[in-house]
Amino acid sequence: MIEMSKSRLAYTAALLTVSGIAIVSLLYVMIPLTPYVISEFSVSPIHAVWASSIFSMAFALGNLFFGTLSDRVPKKRLILTGLILLVICTLSVELASSFTPFLVLRAAQGFLAASFPPVALAYVSEVIPPAQRPSVISYLSCGFLLAGVAGQIFSAEVAASWGMKAVFASLSVIYVILIVISLRLPKDLPNAERPANGPGVFEAFRALVRIPALLVAYGAAVTILMSFVAMFFGLNEFAVQQLHLSPDRILWLRLISMIGMVAALFCGSWIRRFGPVRVLVAGFLTAAAGLAGEAALSGVNMALFIAATVVFVAGIAAAVPSIISRIGLLGSAARGMALALYGFFVFVGASLGPILAAALMPFGFAALCGTLSVIMLAAAVSAWSAKPSANDERLNAVNS
């Protein structure tokens, strides 16, 4: 039986959440920095979005590597090692003098940043008492989503004052601080079920891909950050070119959208009461409604348009912890690998987000949001079609 004092639990949950915000922000810092990349390296807007997409692709691959590795080595050690390497790489990004080295370093940064999310989620499942796990997973998931807005605000403000490269230097300092205070995280317990060799890993992978409900969850996972990233990329362009908002008003628009993140804080109790599938479907439907509202109201009423943006963010905030809980449940003993595959698929979606936004924005922000709304509806239908099976109930009993 896992036991942990309230103060220890609060410290662990808070530190992991803050670390998640700081690390995953690396994906989103490029959204406001796109004009700086175009100016700094003399590239086209289409080429500039690759600074985000290549990070996401490398992040997706890194999730597979580090998530699988977390089933075999101590998770706390893996988190600390990844942070140390990430500091070195992030400092190197600011030294890039041309676009190609910059992209290479962004890819390396994405791969190393992936040492945190899947490992932290598996770590929570190992060190946090079962009764508190859904809540801590919800906080951590909320942190990952807050990174989407916090990263944009941080990079926009720092770059406006000190330039693009100061963004990466500042993040490096934050990561050093996180390394120091992470030394006090509780050690993860030895896992007797952790695969000891290569064949064990492949056997676990084969077992996971034979679970139909898990494959459906992975398909749904692709749509989550794809829609989130695409919407914010499109919103940034729409706010500048169509709404003609000043930087300060764009900042307030991003801040107000964070209100929707509050939904993630309640997901732990919702998941315990209604189950992850129902909360996941409700999240997708809410996100679809928010996107439909954005499409309909983008040129009509600013206050209602902002409200629709909050609704969309709330839907995504509900979907993320519920799909993580669902995948962790279905993954059972191979939870690290199951969450690694989740990270792979969700960040494949994130890498497609800027590309999708660039392709659809010539047709207007309403066209982008309308398309994303249809995608969210399709994800809701697919998630609901994979109803909990008897095997799911067995896994629930084992993990509770």
Domain containing 235 equals 201-399
pTM for this predicted structure: 0.76
Domain end, chosen from 154, 183, 212, is at: 183
- Pick the closest to residue 211 from 124, 341, 321 (CA basis): 341
Do 212 and 72 fall within a single domain?
Answer: no
Domain end, chosen from 121, 154, 183, is at: 183
Do 171 and 315 fall within a single domain?
Answer: no
In-domain check, residue 100? yes
Confidence of residue 189 (pLDDT cuts 50, 70, 90): low
In-domain check, residue 192? no
Do 173 and 313 fall within a single domain?
Answer: no
Q: How many CB atoms lie within 10 A of CB 237?
A: 18
Give the rounded percent of residues in the chain with a pLDDT score beyond 70: 91
Of 111-120, 237-246, 265-274, give the range with the top mean pLDDT.
111-120
Do 165 and 227 fall within a single domain?
Answer: no
Confidence of residue 330 (pLDDT cuts 50, 70, 90): confident
Do 158 and 234 fall within a single domain?
Answer: no
In the chain, the number of structural domains is 2
Do 286 and 206 fall within a single domain?
Answer: yes
Per-residue pLDDT, averaged over 200-213, amounts to 75
Domain end, chosen from 132, 156, 183, is at: 183
Residue 398 has pLDDT above 70, yes or no: no
In-domain check, residue 1? no
Per-residue pLDDT, averaged over 81-99, amounts to 91
Cβ burial 73-109 (10 Å sphere, 16+ → b, else e): bbbbebbbbbbebbbebbbbbbebeebeebbebbbbb
In-domain check, residue 342? yes
The residue that leads in pLDDT, 325 or 368, is: 368
- pLDDT score recorded for residue 392: 46
384: exposed, middle or buried (Cβ count in 10 Å: 0-12, 13-18, 19+) = middle
Do 131 and 232 fall within a single domain?
Answer: no
Do 130 and 214 fall within a single domain?
Answer: no
Confidence of residue 397 (pLDDT cuts 50, 70, 90): very low
Do 238 and 171 fall within a single domain?
Answer: no
- Minimum mean pLDDT among 84-88, 170-174, 183-187: which range? 183-187
Q: Which amino acid is at 192?
A: A
Confidence of residue 231 (pLDDT cuts 50, 70, 90): very high
Say which CATH number the domain at 243 has: 1.20.1250.20
CB 20 within 8 A of CB 28: no
Residue 379 has pLDDT above 60, yes or no: yes
In-domain check, residue 195? no
Do 218 and 164 fall within a single domain?
Answer: no
Confidence of residue 346 (pLDDT cuts 50, 70, 90): confident
Do 177 and 222 fall within a single domain?
Answer: no
Do 157 and 236 fall within a single domain?
Answer: no
